[in-house]
Structure 1
């Protein structure tokens, strides 16, 4: 059994504590460690880092973790800690990731990796120069529904893919008569909030990984709810976008459109659904489920609003089986990254990919402001000389 020290900064927040700590690192520890590609066993040994001593102590006691600290500098100085993980708020992330890179730690972090694409690209350059392994959370690719969809795409089920339609979101309570399900900073632009910054990073890696490079986008944002109530019941002005309506042009002529909203009441099977239509068949994939309809099973639809439609459309789709064990998407990616660090297995979801996600959100905001389509420049790292990397 080999252990590896992991600095986990920001795990007192909802996403960090639930998905990354409890359902990933603690889950790996509880199963007796991770069996690596080389056959050895690896036991993650986290140290919880943050600003709230009481919350850190409580989390550590709850999950049987011995190590926690409010001193990030001391944790970074300890050579036992080989990996730095960050799930803080977006405004705090880049500065601490940079410190960790400079300390020689391997980096794994949430997205967005920075506030601007320039800042995000600088992190990728620095990690490249320092030679540290790095990864960015791309959790939706490892959800059962999208794993099934990827299998369909790879099998050629769709024929020529024509279009992609996505619906994401739910109603987030305003906070006056029911507590909000999301923290108040999410709705303040000055604190790094906004659904375009939050979700377009996801849509970038989902679309590019499944369907191909996205060449251009058009995005319209909106702030539908002007006033919300914070964690203390105090009203505040909503300064960030809480809905986004985006269209993407993908190589090969595929058109994708995804609606993202915290102000929509759900009338679909899952909180996120992606419909893919092709010449040979169609699929609707959600977080966990995926169903298909082939061209030979496509019912004849006739538009006649004067009579009831006899087609039971929802019943005419076939469920796609997983054909394997389903596991937590965050845990699966953690296992991939740990194998990458220890066994040198290939890993494509690096800080450069994270920078592309930030670029996506940045262009989405610019498209909304300028009210026009924008092309997406390619972000790459070109080595011009020792320690020098330029954005091409």
Structure 2
């Protein structure tokens, strides 16, 4: 067995997502399993170098997990020849500059989304990376969730016939921070700091819709800031300047209509925090994070509208669960493994910085649609 060590500069791992999903549940989990095996017997061994601005935080994090290398010097780390990949999970406003520096240093790029604060910046990064000849990847974690993998299996198997529509519900109640601590950082609710649910979630909806159902051709959105004041991590009241709810309608290739509600101001009455209800001529499905249930045309009941009589049937019991039929790993880890194989062994890869730019584009157009009160076409992006 040959071990192929690959150095990864990981920036932003003191944040919630960067720490939990990318460091602990992805890179460290890959090391715990012995690396990523290739078909020729080679094992890819990720060697993380943690990057952060706060020396005490980054040192404590490294010591907690037995990671030998850490630094507050991004430029110095990028200058190292043994560092081949730069990963970025910083706040969006800091990402573009750091990713560009990594491209200039000849590093392959893997980063969270949005890839930049606006479409011009996102496209420029994609063009810059292509000109530099480096490989790039953008996190598209929802595609690797068990529920959506089961949904894709149904699509690929022709279960739906002709798909008609998609209805998505995402969100939960994020506490205001006064009598209970908020579950999300305060910058999420300040547009000047890159916050807002459109900027956060529309990039997700772009790649989910694009990959599973078809390219997004148009968007019409209505946004709201339902909670105008919140309390930050230091107990200070601040004005929420970013949208905390968005209601979007997306027209997809093939005439499919998607409606997705995104909200941090809704109390959950669903089986999972996100669910997609897909209707087709031959059957329907409801897919969440982990589960997926279906109702085929041949088993569809015939409800009759009669408001004068109580409902005697349980509609949810008329659906069937899609079996796992597979072992599902953490979605972030699964995509990391694919990207490492792409960098080391040139294995197939679809989610580059241009794909990331499409997410930024949809968020920009969604916000513009809400401001102007009209439906907007989504132009196809090219480099």
Q: By how many angstroms is 1:224 displaced?
A: 0.2
324-333 vs 50-59, which moves further: 50-59
**SS of the counterpart of 2:254?**
coil
**SS of the counterpart of 2:24?**
helix
Question: Which consecutive unaligned segments of at least 5 residues does structure 2 have?
Answer: none
- Supply the distance in 1 between the matched residues of 2:75 and 2:306 (Cα, whole angstroms): 69
Q: By how many angstroms is 1:346 displaced?
A: 1.5
Asked if 1:323 is matched to 2:320, the reply is no
- Supply the distance in 1 between the matched residues of 2:140 and 2:31 (Cα, whole angstroms): 22
Q: What TM-score results when the alignment is normalised by the length of structure 2?
A: 0.99
RMSD of equivalent CA atoms:
0.6
- Supply the distance in 2 between the matched residues of 1:143 and 1:268 (Cα, whole angstroms): 17
Q: Deviations over 1:77-113 (max 9, x none)?
A: 0010000000000000011000000000000000000
- Supply the distance in 2 between the matched residues of 1:264 and 1:301 (Cα, whole angstroms): 29
- Supply the distance in 2 between the matched residues of 1:373 and 1:270 (Cα, whole angstroms): 30
- Supply the distance in 1 between the matched residues of 2:38 and 2:179 (Cα, whole angstroms): 49
Q: Deviations over 1:36-79 (max 9, x none)?
A: 24331111000000111111112111211101000001100001
Q: By how many angstroms is 1:33 displaced?
A: 1.0
Q: Deviations over 1:263-288 (max 9, x none)?
A: 00000000000000000000000001
- Supply the distance in 2 between the matched residues of 1:290 and 1:74 (Cα, whole angstroms): 47
- Supply the distance in 2 between the matched residues of 1:258 and 1:107 (Cα, whole angstroms): 30
Q: By how many angstroms is 1:317 displaced?
A: 0.7
**SS of the counterpart of 1:252?**
helix
- Stretches (4+) displaced over 6 A: none
- Supply the distance in 2 between the matched residues of 1:123 and 1:348 (Cα, whole angstroms): 17
Q: Report if aligned partners of 1:196, 1:241 keep a CA contact under 8 Å in 2.
A: yes
**SS of the counterpart of 2:62?**
helix
Q: Report if aligned partners of 1:87, 1:109 keep a CA contact under 8 Å in 2.
A: yes
Partner of 1:93: 95
Number of paired residues? 381
Asked if 1:349 is matched to 2:366, the reply is no
Partner of 2:157: 155
- Supply the distance in 2 between the matched residues of 1:42 and 1:155 (Cα, whole angstroms): 33
Partner of 1:132: 134
Q: Deviations over 1:175-200 (max 9, x none)?
A: 00000000000000000000000000
Q: Report if aligned partners of 1:37, 1:339 keep a CA contact under 8 Å in 2.
A: no
Partner of 1:61: 63
After the TM superposition, which residues 157-236 of structure 1 pair with which residues of structure 2 at under 5 Å, given as runs? 157-236=159-238
- Supply the distance in 1 between the matched residues of 2:39 and 2:105 (Cα, whole angstroms): 27
Question: Which consecutive unaligned segments of at least 5 residues does structure 1 have?
Answer: 382-392
Partner of 1:288: 290
- Supply the distance in 2 between the matched residues of 1:311 and 1:36 (Cα, whole angstroms): 52
